[in-house]
Amino acid sequence: MRISELVAESGVPLPTVKYYLREGLLPAGEATGARSAAYGDHHLRRLRIIRALAEVAGLPLGRIRVIVALIDHPRDDLFDALGAAVAALPPQVDTAADYPRARAALTRLGQLYDPQYAAVAQLEEALRAADEAGLPISDARIDAYGGAVRALAEFDLDHAPEPADASAVVEYAVLGTALYEPVLLALRRLAHQHLAAERWRAPES
């Protein structure tokens, strides 16, 4: 397809597409003339990835560059590649400190984890904030939350691309994290509303 067709199909404005090409976020098209090039489905998919990361996840282009580089050239160790890609998503945290609350919670759940993984620091910050607000997370809540999210994580991995296609796995993990986590939060709030209505709403007269 021509660049005008790529713009129409993706919904990304032409100046933005040209900017992504200049910055190397979008691969160059196949030259068809001195000043023309052809683009394919992989260009369209890349634009949709960039748009999702920029508009939904709110990532700056520097972070998007890290992620698309990992998609294009994933590390030999898929576990490390996934960690690096997901760590580029917000919130950004200091992974060098010690996180006693998070370690205790993860040990209780019996989970394997990389201490430098950004989510460990995110968990520590959340647990610390709950403690300081006088609403500490009990062991029973940790058990309930941990069991629920493990089931969700198993579903996600069961439906992931084959590990042999490392680029597809990294893309799936990043987009799944950026796009599906808001769905989980919304569904949890709606479940609260549903249960509260069942338990506490006064019957209609």
> How wide is the angle at C-alpha 110 spanned by C-alphas 108 and 116, nearest 5°?
95
Binned at pLDDT 50, 70 and 90, residue 196 comes out as very high
Among 74, 64, 69, 49, smallest CA distance to 166 is for 74
Give the residue extent of every domain in the chain. Answer: 1-56, 78-200
Other C-beta atoms lying within 10 Å of the C-beta of residue 97: 9
pLDDT digits (tens, 9 = 90+) for 78-114: 888 888 888 888 877 776 678 999 999 999 999 999 8
0.85 exceeded by the pTM? no
pLDDT digits (tens, 9 = 90+) for 144-183: 999 999 999 999 999 999 999 999 999 999 999 999 999 9
pLDDT digits (tens, 9 = 90+) for 1-38: 899 999 999 999 999 999 999 998 999 899 888 888 99
Cβ proximity of 54 and 64 under 8 Å: yes
Q: What is the token pair recorded at 73?
A: 């050239």
C-alpha span between 53 and 64 (Å, rounded): 7
Is the domain covering 1-56 a CATH 3.40.50.1970 domain?
no
Cβ proximity of 37 and 30 under 8 Å: yes
Which contacts qualify for 73-79: CB closer than 8 Å, 24 or more apart?
74/166, 74/167, 74/169, 74/170, 78/163, 78/166, 78/169, 78/170, 79/114
